[in-house]
Amino acid sequence: MQTRRTFLRWSGGAAALAACAPRWLRAAGADPFGAFGLEAAGKLKPRASASIAASPLSVGYETLDRQHFDPAKTYALAAQLGVKWARCQTGWARTEKMKGQYDFGWLDEVVDGLLKIGIQPWFNLGYGNPLYTPKADATAVGWVPVFDEAALEGWKKFTAQLAAHFKGRVRHYEIWNEPNITNFWKPGKPDAASYVKLVEQTAPLIRQQVPDAVIIGCGLAGIPMDYYKKCLAAGLAKHVDKISYHPYRPVPESGYDKEVQTMRELLEQQGAGRVGLWQGENGCPSEKGGAGALRDVDWNETRQAKWLTRRILSDLRLEIELTSYFLIVDLVGYRGSTNWKGLLRGKDYSPKPAYFAYQNLCALFDAATRKADLAIKVADKDESKVVTASFLRQGEPLYVYWTPENLTKDMPPKKARVTLDRQLQQPALLDPLSGQIFKITSFDALPLLDYPMIIASEKILAP
């Protein structure tokens, strides 16, 4: 368990700031933005999850059905992260080890542990059970109960028991995980019509127990448009309230705007504009190698933190209803290696730079911050491609900009002229990696980086 002394050592101290500052910031010394004529104006104050009323920001607590980490060791830091949601996998194989006998004790501990610190769990309902699919291993990961009638009946009974047991604590249910890839649709080949049939048979069982349940469909690996279209053609939108997807990619913005637009247009064509989009699982490793998506890219902890800020703000600028970062902690021993995507290091559960970056975004982008259509123009001498977004927080403008460069190139800062459509009182610049706030006296030479800079009045950044 994290002791109070350990937690204080890792949160907010000089060691934490040094750990999360990019190399070029550390090299610049105590005033890393001095070359831009910016005067330090304080630091963004983190907010505990329990102190935030609502938010679209989530963190992954997946793989506990396979006991890949100790959730109790994460709660002290998760409580201070500021997210309001956590994606949890339900673990049929871990729960029903004898037919007809259900032990939810392990999942009770996770759900109650998260609720206690102000984080709402949402369930990914998925994976099989070797009691009903003998060819599967002990976890039955990816083994779907649609190829055998007995397995399907066992699945239905488990679903009903699960929903009844957690009624009043959990109402958001995502049905299956990444059904569009072979590893998670065993022993057959991925088939959209079969997946929709599973949703059609599963969703009513949840709603019978939880009448106000929110049903989430797809849980797609990537954004496979052909599979998605086939799901909609098979009637998926009639059974779900949200569509979820997992857009793993080294450059978060690559093709993303168009894909989101197309997904929404296809829903509209089905008369299902009410169905919202959830980015349900996405993360970035903090080093090259290991296991899981993006493992072969040359990452480090700073690049991971930059990637996270770009992923989350890309989702917020496109008004994705919920965006979830995978994962709370590295998975040591995952598939015989380590999945390095954690916000916390797997060996000692200490926070990485990405933890502090997410903490800073959580403090500022809760439900009180809304997407707005305000104008911001950013120009530098190299005519760099720039992504921009604008928001309103407490009625005050908040502007974001960055260049979507390849994160493995460690782009040095550029000077850019920034033009806003509104005049700010005491304008300030926030670096979300360090949480440092700087006064802006001129918009003619602000830093343009390969991760977001945030402009707002000082009273918004440092109330």
Average pLDDT of span 272-285: 98
Q: Assess whether pLDDT exceeds 60 at residue 352.
A: yes
Q: What is the pLDDT of residues 99-123, one digit of tens each?
A: 999 999 999 999 999 999 999 999 9
Q: What's the CATH code, domain 49-369? A: 3.20.20.80
Q: How far apart are CA 345 and CA 324, in angstroms?
A: 18
Tokens 């004898």 belong to 98
- Provide the whole-model pTM: 0.94
> Comparing C-alpha atoms, which of 212, 217, 339 is closest to residue 287?
339
> Comparing C-alpha atoms, which of 114, 189, 82 is closest to residue 144?
189
Lowest mean pLDDT among 7-16, 29-38, 215-224, 411-420: 7-16
β-partners of residue 223 are none
Average pLDDT of span 82-97: 98
Sign of CA dihedral 16, 17, 23, 28: negative
Burial of 70 (0-12, 13-18, 19+ CB in 10 A): exposed
Q: What is the DSSP letter of 120?
A: E
Q: Which tokens hold the place of 369?
A: 């911050």
Which residue type is seen at 101? Q
Q: Assess whether pLDDT exceeds 50 at residue 3.
A: no
Question: Is the bond preceding 187 in cis, omega lying within 30 degrees of 0?
Answer: yes
Average pLDDT of span 191-201: 98
User: What pLDDT does residue 34 have?
Assistant: 65
Q: Which tokens hold the place of 152?
A: 């399907």
User: What pLDDT does residue 18 have?
Assistant: 40
Average pLDDT of span 380-399: 96
Average pLDDT of span 373-378: 97
User: What pLDDT does residue 27 have?
Assistant: 39
CB 85 within 8 A of CB 114: no
β-partners of residue 416 are 380, 446
CB 54 within 8 A of CB 84: yes
Q: What is the DSSP letter of 425?
A: S
Residue 6's pLDDT band (cuts 50, 70, 90):
very low
